[in-house]
Copies of this chain bind each other. A is one copy, B any other.
């Protein structure tokens, strides 16, 4: 992995892309966001979105992002292909791929994604899901990380409910988790950071079963409810992040999750389907 550029925030360093032709960008994995066998899935999602954000033909701001984790991204350089396949007056549809050479030097698709950007208008707005009550982040203790991997150190996490089980004893329970979370070191929130934060939860099945089974995200979708003005208001403040599993069946489970800023404004909702073993 390329050495970190110490003048940049680790997230900006991880998301540094170089334009390399029409609809093509190059980037590389970085060590601070490394997971067990590849980069943190959240940072891969953010990298794909970064290509959209930096694309000269982009219309509007991110509305929706679906990332499909087809293969483990390997250490080193990669190529991103970001193609606007359809642009209307107010929305734009994107097809995205992350490509790396395999052992024989043949380009292989490691990640696919679609994104939608949109020009938003001020309208009547409301929520059906107010932020749950939670003690102030300043009164909550920093979490001890459940897994010894690099990327978890890129986030300050203060759990409110549903920590990883202290005993891996197979005692089944509800999978709801709530935590305060933000980048560390602090960094003003933007769309790419929010995309990465959408994948910040440890696997629901670990809490559901109190068993440390292998698990990995297969597909994640993020809906952005915040525009850039609300993200700017949120700045480097804490987000309340909540996730809960829905169904666990024959090797795959899904979760739904929400992220609010400390003022109680919903920034994003997200869901994913996750592979698990046994």
A143 an interface residue at 8 Å Cβ cutoff? no
Stretch at the interface among A24-32, A119-127, A147-155, A182-190: A119-127
Could you tell me how many residues of chain A have their Cβ less than 8 Å away from some Cβ of chain B?
64
Binary interface profile of A, 243-278, with partner B (CB < 8 Å = 1, else 0)?
Answer: 011111111101010100000001001010100111
Would you give the 0/1 interface string for A59-70, flagging 1 where the beta carbon is closer than 8 Å to chain B? 000011010101
**Contact between chains at A71 and B86 (CB < 8 Å):** yes
A139 within 8 A of B: no
A197 within 8 A of B: no
> Which residues in B have their C-beta under 8 angstroms from that of A128?
174-176, 204, 208, 244-248
A246: which B residues are within 8 A, CB to CB?
127-129, 258, 266, 269
Q: Using an 8 Å CB-CB cutoff, how does the interface string of A110-153 with B read, 1 for contact, 0 for none?
A: 10111010101111111111000000000000000000000000
With a cutoff of 8 Å between Cβ atoms, the chain B residues found around residue A226 in the complex are 249
Asked if A251 and B120 make an inter-chain contact with CB atoms under 8 angstroms apart, the answer reads yes
**Within the assembled complex, what's the spacing in Å between the Cα atoms of A86 and B68?**
11
Residues of B within 8 A of A51 (CB): none
Ranked 10 nearest A-B pairs via Cβ: A123-B278, A70-B86, A247-B266, A66-B66, A70-B93, A120-B250, A125-B249, A128-B245, A225-B247, A64-B219
With A64-B273, A129-B246 given, name 5 new contacts (CB 8 A): A86-B112, A114-B219, A223-B252, A225-B247, A247-B266
- Can you report 18 residue pairs joining A to B where beta carbons are below 8 Å apart? A63-B273, A64-B218, A64-B219, A66-B66, A68-B93, A68-B114, A70-B86, A70-B88, A93-B112, A116-B273, A118-B218, A122-B250, A125-B248, A126-B172, A126-B248, A127-B246, A128-B208, A225-B254
